[in-house]
Structure 1
């Protein structure tokens, strides 16, 4: 739940940090400011969208922010393990987190025993944004071509009407749970430890459907392994222009987009935060990164620490009444 594509691109273009100051520094001075080694925490397993973003940007932090930059996958409980690890880490730039917004902004409203809150971290910059998709695989008959078809099939086949997500309590889960509630059709949620294992089961016919980022399904559409029935944006995705949105198909409240952002531990010095933001901005602004993100159904875009901090506060405040109204829980 965040800005639409046009607003996101406008915000990130207008609020980005300048690298002119860094570019004017002597080579030796730049070398002295580099962190010796940084690890980029990723709360989802290798092969998924979050992992791909963390690796694409993490690799480009080498030489611009740190002498050595490594990605460390800590999958589990919808990305929370990595967030908790960041909270325990030293505030010196040696550890940062790449995460979808939801573990930071949404989870405080749905997990009663959560060990962190939005004020436990320093937001650094966005990296990209994404819409979600509902896709079906070979476990669903070829005659199911639309969202309406799928809901009718699911109602007639309740024992088979299961859907995967990258984790319980994620926005992907929220969208599908809201679809089930508004349609009156029981859909059985099967949470996975990230997108990759869920997609594998979807393509293999072990599960009927999956609600996850659009990019998870793009490689399998051309070969006919999956069919995307709906996307979650306010408008159709430029990556799937022939697929109608949930809203177009009668579900007006199922409009949702998520951004991915970088975070540092609380009390990290402002100078380190600003250098990290500048390095991330440089990394996501290159044409090869923009093109690589597009292959994953992602819109690249960086912003300032102030802008992403504002987005975190606003989204966290907005999620509260929505979760309460819908009655959404990780067990939904």
Structure 2
């Protein structure tokens, strides 16, 4: 049951109280939710690793929840356009955000975007972790067959080489900045809104290097259209054991994984958060889905974290990376 605007205005004018049973009916709970389609907003254009993961999770959630989960694309500002849309949405569980680390650092990297990630969004579930990789176009293979070769050539020819990332403020951008600082080189930065477009330009020889999620690069690495120089991690990745790490090249400080988490608007009712949490983790508990995500370059969490634990993980990760940005003097768009 719901009140029309006229009925609500009449109650206010006469000083009447809205009946408790009507208020309860207006708030979704675990038994009535969901009653219609859910939108899962992602902060990238279609075609990359984020899109692949979002569509797989949406498919499983659709089956589990009995309502369509629609993936909506809002690229721009390293996911912060998407985050802002969800932060301003009604807290009813029908608008969700597939977040990465980049959105948590908006106060440093995109301070002009007016929302507060920690206050305006509520954690639902950790979906996956995401190794990153730096690749090179085949047109520079003679000079940059390995990461040490690429750094040597870049030192010898300052300003000659360019590096693409999927936007200022993304983890691939931050790690590539740290790598350049640690190696004493500077590549011309070419930001893109999506991995497929960036890969196309690297393959075509318009850009030399690209740092991006492994999930977006894996098919091209396997096809031989780009050459993997290093995974941005301390340990080799099981799915691509032949690719060395940045740590092996002497740049352990440039190694870190990114992560994906489903977020909802703050003040979303707890029963709705709990229902969404169960739905996401039922998908991730499927051994066949775990194997498929691994083949695609993702790392599924070994155990599920409840929303409170996900919130604690994100808060600690944000503190850590805010300090890293300060230590390396990395600033965003002012």
* Residue 179 of structure 1: aligned partner: 179
1:57 aligns to 2:57 (yes or no): yes
2:96 aligned counterpart, secondary structure: strand
Per the alignment, in what secondary structure is the counterpart of residue 90 of structure 1? Answer: coil
Partner residue, 2:108: 109
Deviation string 1:94-134 (CA, Å, 9 cap, x unpaired) is 11011212212x23233332322212110000111011111
**Superposition CA RMSD, Å:** 2.0
Query: After the TM superposition, which residues 1-332 of structure 1 pair with which residues of structure 2 at under 5 Å, given as runs?
Result: 32-104=32-104, 106-117=105-116, 118-301=118-301, 302-330=304-332
* TM-score of the aligned structures, taking structure 1 as reference length: 0.86
Q: Tell me which structure has the larger Cα radius of gyration.
A: 2
Q: Provide Cα deviations, 1:25-61, integer angstroms capped at 9, x if missing partner.
A: xxxx988433311000011011111111111001111
Paired residue for 1:3? none
Alpha-carbon shift at residue 200 of structure 1 (Å): 1.5
TM-score, length basis structure 2 = 0.86
* 1:144 and 1:150 in contact (8 A); partners too: yes
Match of 1:4 in 2: none
Structure 1 position 297, deviation (Å): 0.8
Tell whether the 8 Å contact from 1:285 to 1:300 is kept in structure 2 after alignment: no
Q: Find the residue that maps to 2:36 and give its secondary structure.
A: strand
| Number of equivalenced pairs | 303
* Conservation of the 8 A alpha-carbon contact between 1:37 and 1:66: no
Q: Which has the higher contact order (CA 8 A, sep 6+)?
A: 1
**Structure 1 residue 76: Cα displacement:** 1.1
Identify if the C-alpha distance between structure 1 residues 178 and 329 changes in structure 2 by more than 3 Å, giving closer, same or farther: same
Alpha-carbon deviation of 1:69? 1.3
Task: Measure the CA separation in 1 of the matches of 2:215 and 2:69.
Answer: 25
| Runs (5+) with no aligned partner, structure 2 | 1-28
- Name the CA distance, whole Å, in 2 between partners of 1:199 and 1:160: 19
